Amino acid sequence: MASAFDIDEIKRRMAGAVSVLKTELSGLRTGRASANLLEPVTVEAYGSHMPLNQVASVTVPESRMLNVQVWDKTMVGAVDRSIREANLGLNPIIEGQLLRIPIPELNAERRQELVKVGHKYAEQARIAVRHVRRDGIDLLKKLQKDSDITEDDERRESDSVQKATDQAIAEIDQLLAAKEKEITQV
C-alpha cells in the first residue's frame, strides 16, 4: 500500500478542527467570569498588535469579576480600549494599573445570541472536518486510479476516513451541547 495516504494525518487534521472549536467556545461568555473570556483581545502595543496576555495578567478574583493587571502603566489606556472594542459587552473600571471588569448578568436575549454564535462555530468546525474527509477520499480514489492501491484497500480506507469523520462530528456536537447547556443555565 502506498505511503501517500495516512489515516493518522487525517485524524490529526480533524482533531485540529475540534481543537479550534474548543478555543472558540471557551471564549463565549457565560454568566461566570473566566480568564479565557479575554483570549481573543489584542492590544496595540509597541507598534504592533499583541495578545492581551503579553502585556497584562488576567485573574479571576470572584465568579463575576475579572482583574487585568497591566505591567506597563503607559499601556493601561490601550488595554482598556482594546477590551471595550472587542465587542464582549465588557466595561473595565481603571484603578491605577489594574482594570477591574465586572461580568454583567446575561439576559435571555443575550443568551440566545451566544447560543447562535456557538452553533455558527460548530458548523464551521463540521465543514472543516468534511473538507478533511473529502481530501482523504479524493486521495484514495486517485491512488486507486493510479493502481497504487487495490479497490478493496481503497474501500477499507474510505470506511476508516468516514469513521474518523463520524467521531469528530460527534465530538463537535457534544462540545456544542455542553456549551449550550452552560450558556442557558441561569
Residue 140 lies in a domain: yes
Position 37 scores a pLDDT of: 78
The distance from CA 6 to its chain's CA centroid, rounded to whole angstroms, is 26
Looking at the 3D structure of the chain, how many domains does it have? Answer: 2
Q: Are residues 67 and 85 in the same domain?
A: yes
Return all residues near 133 (Cβ < 8 A) that are at least 6 apart.
Answer: 10, 14, 161, 162, 164, 165
Q: Are residues 111 and 179 in the same domain?
A: yes
Q: Which three cell numbers stand for residue 105?
A: 448578568
* CA count, 13 A, side-chain hemisphere, 53: 8
Residue 163 lies in a domain: yes
Position 1 scores a pLDDT of: 40
Domain boundary among 47, 81, 102: 102
Position 85 scores a pLDDT of: 85
Q: Are residues 56 and 19 in the same domain?
A: no
Q: Are residues 119 and 166 in the same domain?
A: yes
- The DSSP annotation for 108-147 comes to HHHHHHHHHHHHHHHHHHHHHHHHHHHHHHHHHHHHHHTT
* H/E stretch holding 7: helix 7-26
**What residue numbers bound the domain in which 135 lies?**
7-25+107-184
Domain boundary among 102, 133, 161: 102
Spatial separation of the C-alpha atoms in residues 140 and 142, rounded to whole Å: 5
Q: What is the pLDDT tens value at each position of the chain, 186 positions in all?
A: 444 789 999 999 999 999 999 888 887 766 667 777 787 788 988 888 888 888 999 998 888 889 999 999 899 999 999 988 877 778 899 999 999 998 877 788 878 888 888 899 999 999 999 999 999 999 999 999 998 899 999 999 999 999 999 999 999 999 999 999 888 876
Residue 2 lies in a domain: no
Position 16 scores a pLDDT of: 94
